[in-house]
Structure 1
Amino acid sequence: MAVAYAAEGAVGYITLDKPPANSYDKAFMEELSDAVDAAASDAEAKAVIVRSASKRFFCAGADIKAFLANDTAGNMAMIELGHEVLARIATIPKVFIAQIEGHALGGGLEISLACDLRFGARGSYRLGVPEVTLGLLPGNGGTQRLPRLIGTAKALDLMVTGRQVSPGEAHGLGILNRLFAAGETADRTRAYAESLAAGATAAIGEIKLATYQGVDAPLADALARERAGIKRLFETADAHEGLGAFAEKRKAEFTGA
């Protein structure tokens, strides 16, 4: 399989494994869709890491040979599927972390942009959206997610030039949230995911959903969404535990309920 889902304890893993560069076509996107669904439905997995089986490539983006072989309708079917799959991640009340240790280019970077967080390894690989050099635009969410993440002007600079950046520059721009030594990235990413999984996961999920559902809404509507979320959380066992533990000066023991 080009994309597989598996869980290790309370952390789920979506692994991209299509040598040599994880370049994707429609079949790859269908497998990614299945993996996202599996992660969403796995009650034991409280956080999800998206990673590559390759140390050289996270994902090099769309398979150019597939683009050339398809007509416009065929290419759009793949793009529309990609949009649907990646948009679904924002609706799942679990944090998705892209673990990037190799080239993340074009649609590969766009897969990571659909995740909630991006953790990178130091190294000589590159990140970017070079679709303009093919006479195209970043069509898997890049023109929308990248400006929302790093600001319009910075995103436009990367998109209209196709310039590729180092992990250090990507971290400085805000594309990568954290940057670790190459040999530590997998362990540090897992430790972060495990810390979320051991926390108040009902609250974490509600924070994620309220943020995504409110950030582009009018403020009054967004605040109404926030009130609805905290009202739900007041009824949870985790909130009772967290408030009680604070009052009793002890460590809270959250269950996600």
Structure 2
Amino acid sequence: MAVTAKTEDRIGWITLDRPPANSYDRAFVEELGAAIDQLAEDDEARVVVVRSSSDKFFSAGADVKNFADGDPDTNNDMVRLAHRVFDRFAAIPKLSIAAINGHALGGGYEIALACDVRIAAEGRYRIGLPEVTLGLLPGTGGTQRLPRLIGRGRALLLMATGTSVTPDEAERLGMVDRLVPAEQLDEHVREVATTIAFGAPLAIAATKRAVHEGADRPLHEALQVELEQLAPLFASHDAREGMAAFLEKRRPDYEGR
């Protein structure tokens, strides 16, 4: 399989493994969707990490040969499928992290954009959305997610020129959220994921919903979303446990209820 999923120590790992560049076809996207669904339904997995088995590529995106050989209807159907699958990252209550260790280009970077957080390794590789150089546009979320992440002008300049950037520049622009030495990427991602995995799952899920549902609303509406997400937490076992643990100066034991 090109995409596999497993859970270890409350962390759900999705591994992209389609040599040489993790370029994806329809079967790959379907397997990615199944992996997301598997971890979404796995109560043991409290956080999801997307990583690559390659030491050079996170993902080079859609397989260009398949698009070149396909007819417009088939290609558009493939893109619609990718939209549905990538949207699953935002829809599930668990936080998703893209661990970028190599080239993340086109649809490959759009996978990372669909995740909640992007942690990247330092290195001599590129990140970007070069689809216009093929006479296309970033059609699996790039034209919408990148402007929301770094602003319209910067995103349009990158996408309209097809420019890819180094990891350092990607961090400066906000295309990735954190940059760490390459040899520390796995350990750092695991540490971050573990912190989330042993945190309060109801509170983390509510925080994610508040951010996603409020981000594009006027502030007064977004603040109401925040209140709606907070209200049921006060009645939860986890909130009582968290506050008791704070007062008793001990580590909380969250149960997700």
Report the number of matched residues: 257
In structure 2, the partner of 1:195 is 195
Q: Does 1:222 align with 2:222?
A: yes
Q: State the shift of 1:25 in Å.
A: 1.2
Matched to 1:105, the amino acid is L
Q: State the shift of 1:221 in Å.
A: 3.2
d(CA) in 1 for partners of 2:220, 2:172: 33
In structure 2, the partner of 1:138 is 138
Q: Does 1:41 align with 2:41?
A: yes
How do 1:91-130 residues align onto structure 2 when only pairs under 5 Å count?
91-130=91-130
Segments of structure 2 that go 5 or more residues without pairing to the other structure are none
How do 1:1-257 residues align onto structure 2 when only pairs under 5 Å count?
1-257=1-257
Matched to 2:55, the amino acid is K
Indicate the SS of the match to 1:48.
strand
What do you get for the CA RMSD once the two structures are aligned? 1.1
Q: State the shift of 1:219 in Å.
A: 3.2
d(CA) in 2 for partners of 1:152, 1:78: 27
Q: State the shift of 1:21 in Å.
A: 0.5
Indicate the SS of the match to 1:66.
helix
Q: State the shift of 1:249 in Å.
A: 4.1
Matched to 1:12, the amino acid is G
Indicate the SS of the match to 1:90.
helix
d(CA) in 2 for partners of 1:132, 1:176: 21
Q: State the shift of 1:152 in Å.
A: 0.7
Matched to 1:158, the amino acid is L
* TM-score (norm. length: structure 2): 0.97
Segments of structure 1 that go 5 or more residues without pairing to the other structure are none
Q: State the shift of 1:191 in Å.
A: 0.8
Q: State the shift of 1:180 in Å.
A: 1.0
* TM-score (norm. length: structure 1): 0.97
